[in-house]
Structure 1
Amino acid sequence: MKQYLKLSLLTVSIGWLVYSCAKVDTNSPLTPSLGAPGVVTNVTVKNDSAKAILTYTLPNAADIAYVKAVYSLATGHIREVKASVYDNNLVLDGFGDTLQHEVKLYAVNKAEVASAPVTVTVKPLENPIWGVFRNMKVYPDFAGIRVITKNPTRFNIAIEILQDSLGQWFPYNGIYTSTDSINSAIRGMDTIPKKLAFFVRDRFLNRTDTLFQTLTPFYETAIAKSSYREYTLPGDAVSAWASNRVSNLWDGNWEHWPGCNITTDQGKPSVVTFEIGKLAQLSRIVIWDYAEYLNSGRGYYYAGNPRKFEIWASANPPLDGSWANWTLMATCEEIKPSGLPYGQLTNEDRTAGMAGFNWDLRSDVSKMRYIRIKVNQNWAGSYFQSLSEVQVYGDPR
């Protein structure tokens, strides 16, 4: 028995030694080199915003795997971009200036052997972050600040916000988006002056100059939902289900069925009315749309979610349901950040919907107590509304 065990161990040891000697080096190319490939030819350059597009002719060789470009960015970073052998163009991105940049082009074969470089010069057009920066306006807002600007090319940008503390600048907040119209509020600030700094950057850390401003936010507080009440008037929309009462709009459930208010479609703009329980100088209202069920999961900008609508307010509304003694506080339109067609969403679209939509209300009117939401067009193109939650803000002092 001992002899058999010794023989087995010897057999295993010899087998392992043979395997180790014959083991394949997986770090080496699987295809043997046929020598350095020829160079790419007929290279043309099209300069564009923050990038350049190269087209070329591949060398006549069967083992070409890809073409790569190597170049330096203004940040000092060396960037390498590759294109498949099935393409004849390369997009060189990441530029933060409009200077000339030298680019080296290589054809690389399946053995990872590169050709001699072909050198071309590109001169990218202005990075879109500069247009965003030049158009940027920053204002004090209720319990915070508001940043407004345009991003017509829908470039992926970040607006970084810094705050001064004892002469040192520290990151405070940021706005990260690719939408074309930026109108963002940063909340949660005290009503004391704040020294802030703003600049725009892209994902390659190219950045603009810095805008410095001292801003003093306006006083604002959330009107407690415990004082909200239904206040149905003649002509108001009818809830589609008994469980979908208007009072669901302040039950704290902004996502799940049946904690929402979905109205029937009566072939005309739909209206819901409620009161906030006290007179207040209104500043804004946050509306959470009901997340509809799509093929890809829950989603916004769909069905009865309001697309074009109005917010009205009154201190003492008539009981006949007419619009006498009502004041138009805001004309609103939901804009999908991605701009994608109906039913298609990005993560940014879902994030915006989950956060709720902030709508600023007129500050040049007296205190109000009653609110009406009038939907003139939902995302389905009809009139019924599908909402989950509301929160009214203002100054009830």
Structure 2
Amino acid sequence: MKNLILKRLFIVVCITTIIASCSQDDNTNEPLFVDGSVPEQVSNITVINEAGKSTVKYSLPKDKNLLYIKATYTIDNGTKMEVKSSYYKNSLILDGFAGAGEREVELVSVSRSEIESEPVKITINPEESPIFDVFKSLKIGPDFGGLFVEADNPKRKELAILVMQKDDNGDWVTTGNSIYTSTNDIFRTVRGLDTINYDFALTIRDRFLNTTDTLFQTIKPIYETEIPRSQYAGYPLPGDAPTNDFGFGLDRMFDNNFIGWPRIYITDAAPPAPHSFTIDLGAEVKISRVKIWDYPQGTAAGYFYYWQFNMRKFEIWGSNNPNPDGTYDSWNKLGDYEVIKPSGLPLTQQSAEDLEFAQDGFNWPIPITAPKYRYIRIKNLENWSGGGRLAIAEMRVYGDPR
């Protein structure tokens, strides 16, 4: 009986404690430290002006209650910006400016009680945003089945190239073909268009919603179609890489399986580079591009495309009458190619853009001056591990079979 009374008393005490705690919710957003003193200002301020931004360096006040330094400023499109830096650092990066010129910035010290110092007003002079240099380098033109978009982004600015077409009301609207990237050498294609004239408008926008002028151009795509994969067949030649380790044949590149092991083509590990293979397209084709989907290497961290046995540097050759001895005397080189990771990150690291780029497949253009070919030969010079072994999930050939 005594134990039962004690248990009930314990429950009542707990409930009372919970109610008392809940009744104090009105104070949950108050500062943890209550100190009415006003923090001192920053001093010894220096400014480094860069393209589209400025770095502000300063000496922190010797105040034990200091929590952070805050900068407030307004960018060109009228957006009010606020940047904070903890008391562990002595600098702030003020980003988001479009044009060059002087801007006023206010710096305040903020205490642990969220009390601000008197502002220090400074003037910065950022240079023009990098998006305008990207716009100056912007080029578009007709491509097989669509158009190409090319630009230089040496500062790897995070930006969007907005591709616009007119809607039924005659207004320019963005399409699903806009390009979002931070790579340095931008080259993208828009596919799936007929061989008629299209009016396009392109502008560049950064993450602060600053925009450049607009490039207007009329494009007439060049005809291409996918060569049916049912026509493809392996055409093994002496000197082509063996596939004895797993026995996965060339037909696995044409089975419409883009990710699943063991539906891939993979050559043996032992033979040194280069590793080559040969495909019969079934008929002579004016080839526009070869599209290759690398095999994603599965790891505990997810799938990696720029790794191990995926091709990194390779050549594509064409022939209509291959010499049966496997030599290259009867072949014409169509191009030298290299897979470039958009982010530039080191091996075993990849960004979301890297992943999206690889999952979409790599398009390798064939010179428009090249004649028709029935046979193509791919020679892998180096994979991402530095060897010759190659692994491919899928491959398609596009062009004009007429």
Give me the TM-score of the superposition, normalised by structure 1.
0.93
For residue 163 of structure 1, the aligned residue among 157, 162, 165 is 165
Which letter does structure 1 place at the counterpart of 2:291? V
Q: 2:222 aligns with which of 218, 225, 229?
A: 218
Conserved 8 A contact 1:240-1:262: no
2:191 corresponding residue in structure 1 = 187
Report the counterpart of residue 272 of structure 2 in structure 1: 267
SS of structure 1 residue aligned to 2:195 = coil
Aligned to 1:71: 73
Q: Does 1:310 align with 2:312?
A: no
SS at structure 1 position matched to 2:389: coil
* CA 256–240 in structure 1, closer or farther in 2 if over 3 Å, else same: farther
Partner SS state of residue 249, structure 1? helix
- Residues of 2 paired with 1:382 and 1:295: CA distance? 24
Distance verdict in 2 for CA 1:90–1:241, change over 3 Å? same
Residues 11 and 232 from structure 1, CA distance in 2 versus in 1: closer, same or farther, beyond 3 angstroms? closer
Superimposed CA distance per residue, residues 161-185 of structure 1 (whole angstroms, 9 cap, x where no aligned partner): 1012453211122111111111111
Instruction: Read off the aligned partner of 1:271 and give its amino acid letter.
Output: S
CA gap of 1:68–1:266, structure 2 versus 1, over 3 A, is same
Query: What corresponds to 2:256 in structure 1?
Result: 252
CA contact (8 A) 1:243 1:258 kept: no
Separation of aligned partners in 1, 2:246 and 2:264: 11
Q: Residue 18 and residue 201 in structure 1: after superposition, are their counterparts in 2 closer, same or farther (change >3 A)?
A: closer
Matches within 5 A, 1:286-305: 286-305=291-310
The answer (yes or no) to whether the contact 1:68–1:82 under 8 Å persists in 2 is: yes
Does 2:377 match 1:375?
no
Q: CA deviation at 1:280?
A: 1.4
For 2:178, which of 174, 180, 185 is the aligned residue? 174
User: How many matched pairs?
Assistant: 392
Q: Quote the Cα distance in structure 1 between the aligned partners of 2:129 and 2:394.
A: 40
Alpha-carbon distance between aligned partners in 1 of 2:18 and 2:93, rounded to the nearest angstrom: 49
1:230 maps onto 2:234 in alignment: yes
Residue 46 (structure 1) aligns with: 48
**RMSD across aligned positions (CA):** 2.2
Per-residue deviation, residues 81-134 of structure 1 (Å, max 9, x unmatched): 000011010011111111211000010001111111000111111211111111
Q: Which residue of 1 aligns with 2:245?
A: 241
Shift, 1:14, TM fit: 8.7
Rounded to whole Å, the distance in 2 between the matches of 1:252 and 1:294 is: 23
Q: Which residue of 1 aligns with 2:366?
A: 361
Cα gap change, 1:13/1:234 in structure 2, threshold over 3 Å: closer, same or farther?
closer
How big is the shift at 1:294? 3.7
TM-score between the two structures when normalised by the length of structure 2: 0.92
User: Letter of the aligned partner of 2:132 in structure 1?
Assistant: W
1:37 to 11, 31, 39: 39
Give the Cα–Cα distance (whole angstroms) in 2 for the partners of residues 16 and 310 of structure 1.
72
Displacement of 1:16 in angstroms is: 8.4
In the alignment, the residues of structure 2 paired with residue 163 and residue 236 of structure 1 have an alpha-carbon distance, to the nearest angstrom, of 47
Please name the residue that 1:100 is paired with: 102
- The Cα offsets for residues 141-165 of structure 1, whole Å up to 9 and x where unpaired, read as 0111001111111111111110124
Q: How far off is 1:191 after superposition?
A: 1.0
State how far apart, in whole Å, the 1-side matches of 2:13 and 2:87 are.
48
CA shift digits 1:224-246 (9 cap, x unpaired): 11111111011110114344211
Structure 1 residue runs of 5 or longer lacking an equivalent are 1-7
Structure 1 ranges of 4+ moved more than 2 A: 10-24, 164-167, 240-243, 293-297
Query: 1:387 maps to which residue?
Result: 392
Match of 2:324 in 1: 319
Deviations 1:183-214 (A, max 9, x none): 11111111110110111111001111111000
